[in-house]
Amino acid sequence: MRELVPELHDVLKLIKLRFSRDPHDIHEWDSRDYEAFEHLLAINTETWKGVRQHHLGFTEYPTEPDTFYLCVADSLASHVSRLGEAGHIERKLNKLWKPAEEERDVRLEGDEDISALFKFLQTDPSWEEFLQKYENLLKNRPEDFHHGKNITSLYTHSKLTGQFYRILRNNPHLFPLLPNEIGGKTKDEVGNLYRKKWNSEWKLTLARCKLHLLQRPFRAKDLNIFGALEDLTEEISTGYQDNLILRTSDELLLVLPDEAQLSDISMMAHQKGFWVEIIRARRALNELKPPNPEIMPGKKHENLYNLPEEISPPICEICQSAKATKRWPEDDILSRRELCPNCRALLTQNPLALVVDSLCEADRAKLEDVITEPTTEEICEVCFSIRSKEARLPKLANEWSKEAKITWLKLDLDFDQLEYTLENLSGKGEISFSVIGEFQEDYSQFLRGFNEQIHHNFRSENVENVLSDFFCIKIGSFKESLRILQIYHRLLENFLPAFLDLEKSPLKIAIVCANPKFPFFEVWKILEGAEEDIFISLQEGRTLRAPIRALRPLIEAANMQYHKSALYKLTRIEETSKALAELVFQNRRDEDSRTYSRLGKALRPGLDFSSIFTFARLLQD
């Protein structure tokens, strides 16, 4: 027999009985419903035991460690138990960031469908097997039907219950529970035991880990560090899949049984060229406050580097945190290319730039692509291995002309702002793990959709994916970068529409327009410093900064027709004096005042003058 599948504990929430109000406890079913399905309810599996015993409030209650762990995991993963008074019944999934449009009860209703479910449960299915049949239903059925509590899906709740169950059950030394503590006890005694474990005895660590680059990427090949970042987040997510609550391209929210795992994560990060910023708090289960350990009592904030006390020269020129033991490009050439013994010896002892003229003709031809490398760089093993990989952005490195126009596009999810936003949207001032889990589902879908739309709109041959939320796009003119805003708006409308009306959005979009020769570390510096909801930077130092509420007006303004000469005049005046440009922009007697007043009407007060002038500059391209 299969072990208990915790994700299926709420499977009875998928059915709508004809007479019984709440199908959760079979003992409390209306006798007419019971008689209709009695012959199918003899399910002899551990999972079925979990279905019947995971609550303390019904006739059946946990009588053995596994069902007790399930009961605790269910509470941790529930949005419902954390909130107060129930509202009216509302049978639709009403996500905080995307309210449902119409009421739709998706539960299985007919005898045939309900019987099929019970028959399937008799086969003792795994979670994956169950999903194949009922995933859609789980995703559309709220965890609870009451207004204000119907904000998370049964799918998210079930998945999280599975995660918490395994964290508790797989660490008996941290969450001890002896069979005699629970076996043969009354419901009240088990209830007391639950409160003891929940309120004080059992503790979990909530940790927010942000991965930072030790490197400052400089050359196109250094962008391979983002490949390493992707591998690292994937490795952590796979290794800690039961602990992972929320994940972006460089940040993870984890629930850990103890804090030893954080050293492992820090070590994994260091080996790949990163350091980790960790905010963590270890508290009793009733005191965990997702998603932000920063607001929990006893929180600790630390940066884990794993750095040596001293490094004898030379120091790595890229990460500056390890001894340089390799030369670039010489060691790369020597390890990969066939050279004659003479040239090999020359290159072993000298920098490439100094011996180019002394190389034999055949070897010089072989090294044509690297001969232009200006200098030798001394770098460490980690940076060498990252740089030696295939170029992360081959089109940017090899295909796109140096005169092309490109746009760097980065989406960023601000954890602190997310917490604030979700608290406000819920109106309860408290966020549960299930709300965060639900958001993760939609955020991942949003990113996938955004990715598809970017590739579709700009054509894949013009798009390089640096990360799942970081792109490099070749465009015909910088004005085209405004199309990105249209895509962004469309996707937000589809997946996270409530974000469009916020004062400040947790999701930020930053766009840097440049040409391929513009040094990447400058782009990265600009992207890292962008804090506004919408941020566009032009190479000449102009920036557009706008709140998310200005997104619609920006798109509308981008689709209007303007006199190009008026826009040109404005930006030229601004180059001399911003104050003068402001005066001209507001002067109703100016010959171009009609153009300026249309722009002003569309964009004020969301955008300041400097941002409007940047917008005007973009429109001219």
Point out which residues bind another protein (CB under 8 A).
216, 218-219, 222, 301-303, 305, 307-313, 315, 317, 320-321, 373-377, 519, 521
Least distance (Å) between residue 320 CB and another protein: 6
In whole angstroms, the minimum distance from the beta carbon of 474 to another protein comes to 23
State which residue, 57 or 374, has the beta carbon closest to another protein. 374
Query: Which among 53, 60, 59, 58 has a CA at the least distance from the CA of 8?
Result: 53
Cβ proximity to another protein: between 205 and 321 the closer is: 321
Measured from the CB atom, is 34 or 305 closer to another protein?
A: 305
Q: Is the peptide bond before 179 cis (omega within 30 degrees of 0)?
A: no
CB of 280 to another protein, least distance (A): 13
CA atoms within 13 A on the CB side of 151: 28
Q: What are phi and psi of 474, to 5 degrees?
A: -85, 130
Secondary structure class of 101 (helix, strand, coil): coil
Decide: 464 and 395 in contact? Cβ < 8 Å: yes
Residue 296 makes CB contacts below 8 A (sequence gap 6+) with 206, 281, 283, 287, 288, 289
> Which tokens go with 396?
């940017």
Task: Indicate the residue among 376 and 486 with the shorter CB distance to another protein.
Answer: 376
**Closest distance between another protein and the C-beta of residue 376, in Å?**
8
CB of 561 to another protein, least distance (A): 39
Tell me if the bond preceding 217 is cis, omega within 30° of 0: no
Angle at 576 between CA 571 and CA 578, to 5 degrees: 70
Residue closer to another protein, measured from CB, 124 or 222: 222
Q: For another protein, give the closer residue by CB, 146 or 323.
A: 323
Sheet holding 470-475, edge to edge: 463-467, 470-475, 405-413, 507-514, 534-537, 543-546
Closer residue to another protein (CB): 476 or 519:
519
Q: Specify the 3-state DSSP secondary structure of 95.
A: strand
Q: 515 near 539, Cβ under 8 Å?
A: yes
Least Å from the CB of residue 312 to another protein: 6
| Minimum CB–partner distance for residue 302 and another protein (Å) | 6
CA distances to 101, 191, 232, 437, 439 from 442, rounded to whole Å, are 17, 36, 23, 9, 5
- The minimum distance between CB 301 and another protein, in angstroms, equals 5
Shortest CB 417 distance to another protein, Å: 18
Angle between helices 154-169 and 433-458 (to 10 degrees): 120
Phi and psi of 288, rounded to 5°? Answer: -70, 130
434 closest CA partner among 83, 1, 24: 83
Q: What DSSP element (H or E) covers 313? A: none
Closer Cβ to another protein, 222 or 331, answer by number: 222
First and final C-alpha spacing in the chain: 68
> Quick one: 377 or 469, whose CB is closer to another protein?
377
**Which lies closer to another protein via its Cβ, residue 313 or residue 605?**
313
We find the least distance from the C-beta atom of residue 313 to another protein, in angstroms, to be 7
Residue 361 CB burial class (10 angstroms; 0-12, 13-18, ≥19): exposed
Q: Is 430 exposed, middle or buried (0-12, 13-18, 19+ CB in 10 A)?
A: middle
Rounded to 5 degrees, φ, ψ at 153 are: -90, 160
Return d(Cα 330, Cα 350) in angstroms, integer. Answer: 9
**Nearer to another protein among residue 85 and residue 309 (C-beta):** 309
Q: For another protein, give the closer residue by CB, 277 or 287.
A: 277
CB of 221 vs another protein, minimal distance in Å: 10
